[in-house]
């Protein structure tokens, strides 16, 4: 059986679970407790040489990096989430990359400084936080404009590009990132968070964060 190794607070991990849920795949979710150092154990390093999440073990086939994993799962299932056509696939890859490298990278600076640094007692990097917010102001309008013309990121068909961005934007509320001014992006996100592939993973990111705010194991 497919095993997905991840953390509930990891957007990349949740991205893989969203995809597996949407595809109707049977899988075992193996929680990797980052706070207690599960990811640094030798047995986990065999799955991910950089000791990060997520990774999968599909009946002995090991793969890491969330975008590689979701492409693999969709291709294995033969799903239109990752279309076969050269141009169609190119557009999906384009928006996956834009979501990861621009929106996701910017948002992670905000998430780290507003959520994880305080949780760990680490000083906030104000320059990093400011840069992240500045980049979001630059890149979120691009997404909003795309969604003003289409139901989903790549036209009228739901794809991996949507799953990727949805997962990356999951921490917006606890990270105090207000996207309400982006009407099309808000419409798209609200609709997708009602879908079963999302709700089977969690009610929302804030709920998971609150449930995990307990002292780490000594």
Q: What is the pLDDT of residue 213?
A: 65
Domains and CATH numbers, the chain: 2-80 (3.40.30.10), 86-195 (1.20.1050.10)
Q: What is the pLDDT of residue 178?
A: 97
Contacts of 211 (CB under 8 A, 6+ apart): none
For 96-165, the DSSP string reads: HHHIIIIIIHHHHHHHIIIIIHHHHTPPP-HHHHHHHHHHHHHHHHHHHHHHHH-SBTTBTS--HHHHHH
Q: What is the pLDDT of residue 217?
A: 47
Report the C-alpha gap between 81 and 90 in whole angstroms. Answer: 13
Q: Which long-range contacts (CB under 8 A, 24 or more apart) does 186-194 make?
A: 187/147, 188/147, 188/151, 188/152, 188/162, 192/162, 192/166, 193/166
pLDDT (tens place) for every residue of the chain, 218 residues total: 999 999 999 999 999 999 999 999 999 999 999 889 999 999 999 999 999 999 999 999 999 999 999 999 999 999 999 999 999 999 999 999 999 999 999 999 999 999 999 988 999 999 999 999 999 999 999 999 999 999 999 999 999 999 999 999 999 999 999 999 999 999 999 999 999 999 999 999 999 998 876 554 44
């Amino acid at each position: 059986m497919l095993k997905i190794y991840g953390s509930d607070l990891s957007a990349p991990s949740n991205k893989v679970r969203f995809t597996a849920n949407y595809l109707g795949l049977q899988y075992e979710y193996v929680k990797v407790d980052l706070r207690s150092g599960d990811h640094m154990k030798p047995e986990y390093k065999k799955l991910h040489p950089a000791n990060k999440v997520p990774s999968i073990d599909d009946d002995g086939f090991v793969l890491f990096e969330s975008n590689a994993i979701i492409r693999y799962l969709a291709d294995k299932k033969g799903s239109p989430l990752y279309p076969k056509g050269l141009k169609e696939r190119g557009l999906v890859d384009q928006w996956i990359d834009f979501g990861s490298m621009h929106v996701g990278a910017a948002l992670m600076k905000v998430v780290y400084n507003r959520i994880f640094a305080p949780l760990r007692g680490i000083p906030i990097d104000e320059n990093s936080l400011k840069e992240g917010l500045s980049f979001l102001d630059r890149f979120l309008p691009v997404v909003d404009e795309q969604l003003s013309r289409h139901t989903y990121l790549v036209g009228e068909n739901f794809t991996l590009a949507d799953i990727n961005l949805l997962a990356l934007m999951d921490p917006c509320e606890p990270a105090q990132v207000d996207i309400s001014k982006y009407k099309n992006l808000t419409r798209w996100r609200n609709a997708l968070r009602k879908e079963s592939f999302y709700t089977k993973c969690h009610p929302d990111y804030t709920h998971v964060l609150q449930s995990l705010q307990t002292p780490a194991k000594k």
